Chain A
Amino acid sequence: MALLTNCDWNTRKKHIADIDEWKKKFSVIHELAVSPDGEKISAIIKGDNDRFTPCVNGVTWPHTFEKAWSLRFGCDGRLTCLAMNDDEWTVATDDQMWEEKYDYVWNLQENRDGECIAVNIKTGGQYGVAVNDKRWENIFFEARDLAISPDGEHTAAIVQTERLDGADTVGFLEGVWSVAVDGHRWDKNFTNVWGVTFSCDSRNVAAEVRTDIRDYTIAVDGNPWNTVFRCVWEPLFNPANGDVTAPVQTERGWTLALNGTVIWDKYFNQLWHQRYNPNSQDIAAVVSPKFGKWTIAINGSPWKETFSDAVLPPVFSPDGTRVAAVIKNKGKWTIAVDGQPWDEVFDMIWNPHFSPDGSRIAAKAERGGDFFVVIDGKVGSPFEACWDPVFSPDGKKLLIRSIDDGAYYRRVCSV
């Protein structure tokens, strides 16, 4: 992340924009977005002649639109939104519009380094994907969802390859859905396809597929596993060797399968959101060991402590030694680290962020309408609004992006 390596890690507090001023100037301000380095804040605003455009640090783009939405900063710091003029939709990045225009665009996504920007598109009544201002050469009856390969070279979507008449339940079961990668569909069709994902080397694609009323399995590059299960959830590629694992449901309950074979000896009431340790073969996942109880299991061994309401996807520390997850217990949210929940609880908490050496954890949280940055369970001072905290690449500093008294500040503090 060049942006974070090169950004200002020295200035302790910087006033970036006066949001209260914006409110006086513009009658409508949509949701605020901030850049990863904290140097910019933006929102779509309604300007003259009722036209919309992003305002960045108080300055609006020269281009304006009839409609604009889905504004976000990429991880390379570029600002992108979806915009419409004269009934044509397109993607606009840093005030540059794509040349291609579509009937509709949505599901704006970027790859790991932000260089590849892709969207789902509708054009001429058919559907496809457009990547960096270039649409797939093939379009389909429908294209849903979107996955971008980590290197940004490939895109995949769930596509409907054949027409299906209204209420054609027989044709549906025979299968009209497939996956298209860069616009080229798999040979096989399935009853359903979900959860398309790329391998870490960007070469392979896996997805959940349904082959009959109650036959579910995983297909890799179009080839389904030999075994079918009662149900499956999203597959994931092993970063080291390209194996595919997925939660599968058998008569005994939910467990984990690798390339079609069950590998965990424990069965759960529920199992989803598997994540790989970046440095080994360990897999952490959200599990429900008993009805109404939730926790994290690592390689099938659940944490001792369980939580009544919910557990969100686990996050490994960069060195792979620790696991943290957002949990909700008895109506209150917090973060649990290696099975131990923080003492402080919140009305809402965002994803945990590990420092590069894995020793610290920071997260954004909200309680009673105030926002905080929480570090290792300790609550900082309240803000009107804030965004996820960001550790410096050396792990010594923390970037805090927040709004105080109607103004947006960028702060750097030592940890």
Chain B
Amino acid sequence: MGEPAENAVVDPGLDEQIKKLTSEKIEGVITKVLTEETAARLDVYMRTCVHCGLCAEACHYCLSHDKDPRFSPVGKVKQTLWEILRRKGKVEPEFIRECARIAFTECNVCRRCSMYCPFGIDIAYLLLVVRRICSLLGVVPQYLQDTVNSHAVTSNQMWVKQDEWIDTLQWQEEDTQDEIKDARIPLDKEGAEIMYSVIGPEPKFLAQLLGNIAFIMNVAGIDWTMPSFDGWDNSNMAMYSGDCESRARIERTHDEAAFKLKVKKIVMGECGHAFRGAVYDGPKGLGWKEPPVPLIHAIQFYYELIRDGKVKIVKKFEGPVTVQDPCNVVRGRGLGKMLRYIMRAVCEDFRDVSPRFEHNYCCGAGGGVINCGPSWKSARVKGNSVKAEQLKATGAKVIITPCHNCHSGIEDIINYYKLGMHVKFFSEILVNAMEIPEELKV
């Protein structure tokens, strides 16, 4: 088996960091993880896998690489965890680099393969164990590690400073007032019904999305607030880097913000991984069985607003539109039907994808893969030609991605495969489709 071409990618987070490793350190960390942090699941999964290869059918990397066995889910486990266990942790630094490359950049931990494995082995979990080992050894793609560092310092993903966050909200509030009379983004409103939380890239690069939600909230007359303090970011890249301690801290900060504001629920923007982090994978690490303050994804929030007539659709989006089922909210939380309800409510010509719902293909960007940085982009996009084919088959000109990672990942795919489509968030078409009541018009 030849060396994969992606191996040529230079990433100081891997290349430089492995130079600092010794075999004792590697063995020590591996032993610690295998004895202290893993238990029945790892053990039973290892004993149960019959090496049947049926999971290969699930993985977009494998399908996009002409079923190259190195990209099958079990193939990735073979190249990493089997070897680690077989050699009882006695592996060289270069091997750890391989593990990091495979676990961080060739698996989106999207869990599609769990649905294709006859035993229901959580292969994503196995790759996350590999990531955990790499993380403790300090071998994490540089850009991904940088977002985790940002989380650790600022509780947000993008090094957004405390003043920048508030300033951005105040700016977006003013902008919204150009369209909606006296629109507000109420900061720190204790006892509000809803705390709205977003991910770091919104204030950093996509501030208009904050304007969009202000627009929607003000028109729908929602009792809402946003925290001026840390905890406003619901994203959690530490969940993907293997830094469980930071993951817990980030999650706690988000929960504590909701406690402090005395809100009944948290509504979060159009993001998938953040939903996974805040609703089902993150809380576990702190001891919550369910999130202590219920979390509603934007899809469900929009669904309820439209269903209950709180926003009225007056001008449907024209032209063929399709949709991406983000893994972490559809396979992860079953919101696929609500997503289709809002798509049909707002679009004249909705074209569904196939496969869809739980079986939809991952965008290739999730699971921290896009956060590994530009040097891994080519491998990521080439690893998802099936997504390009799937989208092309819909004949749509616009694709709605209610998830930030999907949004960026699919934009890259569209450009690379020259699909001639446009990617939009749902809120972008919603604000143009909904009615502004007379009394709120400027």
Contact = CB atoms under 8 A, between A and B. Distances in A.
A and B together in one complex: yes
Interface stretch (A168-176, A256-264, A372-380, A390-398): A168-176
A167 B166 CA distance: 24
A408 B248 CA distance: 42
Contacts of A249: 245
A202 B186 CA distance: 34
A31 B163 contact: no
A231 B16 contact: no
Contacts of B167: 104
Interface string A268-287: 01101000000000000000
A328 to B, nearest CB: 7
Interface in B358-379: 373
B184 interface: yes
Contacts of B289: 291-292, 308
Nearest to A309: B292
Interface stretch (A34-42, A147-155, A209-217, A238-246): A209-217
A204 interface: no
Interface residues of A, number: 53
Contacts of B16: 170
B161 A142 contact: yes
Interface in A207-248: 210, 213-214, 216, 230-231
Interface stretch (B104-112, B139-147, B346-354): B139-147
Nearest to B186: A31
The 4 A-B pairs of least Cβ separation, nearest first, read A292-B289, A310-B292, A288-B287, A270-B287
A405 to B, nearest CB: 19
Given A144-B154, A213-B136, A292-B287, A69 B146 contact: no
A107 interface: yes
Contacts of A348: 191, 262, 264
Contact of B245 (A46, A214, A328): A214
A169 B142 contact: yes
Contact of A169 (B149, B154, B182): B149
Contacts of B13: 169
Contact of B162 (A31, A120, A173, A192): A120
Contacts of B145: 169
Interface centre among B135, B145, B293 (most CB of A within 10 A): B145
Contact of B182 (A46, A69, A173): A46
B182 A107 contact: no
27 contacts: A28-B182, A69-B170, A104-B163, A104-B167, A107-B229, A122-B161, A144-B154, A144-B161, A145-B230, A169-B140, A172-B146, A172-B149, A177-B153, A210-B152, A230-B245, A231-B249, A249-B245, A251-B36, A270-B286, A272-B252, A294-B287, A309-B290, A310-B288, A328-B292, A347-B264, A348-B264, A350-B262
A70 interface: yes
B189 A31 contact: yes
A46 B167 CA distance: 19
A168 B407 CA distance: 27
Given A169-B149, A348-B191, A350-B262, A213 B138 contact: yes
Contacts, number: 104
B293 to A, nearest CB: 8
Interface string B1-36: 000000000001100100000000000000000001
A312 B153 CA distance: 24
A27 B182 contact: yes
Interface residues of B, number: 49
A136 interface: no
B345 interface: no
B256 to A, nearest CB: 9
B187 interface: yes
A167 B142 contact: yes
Interface in A13-55: 27-28, 30-31, 46
Interface centre among A167, A230, A291 (most CB of B within 10 A): A167
B188 interface: yes
A272 B249 CA distance: 12
B172 to A, nearest CB: 13
B415 to A, nearest CB: 23
Contacts of A294: 287
Contacts of B12: 169-170
Nearest to B166: A106
B116 interface: no
Interface in B181-216: 182, 184, 186-191
A404 to B, nearest CB: 17
A67 interface: yes
Nearest to B35: A251
B287 A106 contact: no
Interface string A92-132: 00000000000110110000000000001010000100000
B259 interface: yes
A13 B374 CA distance: 66
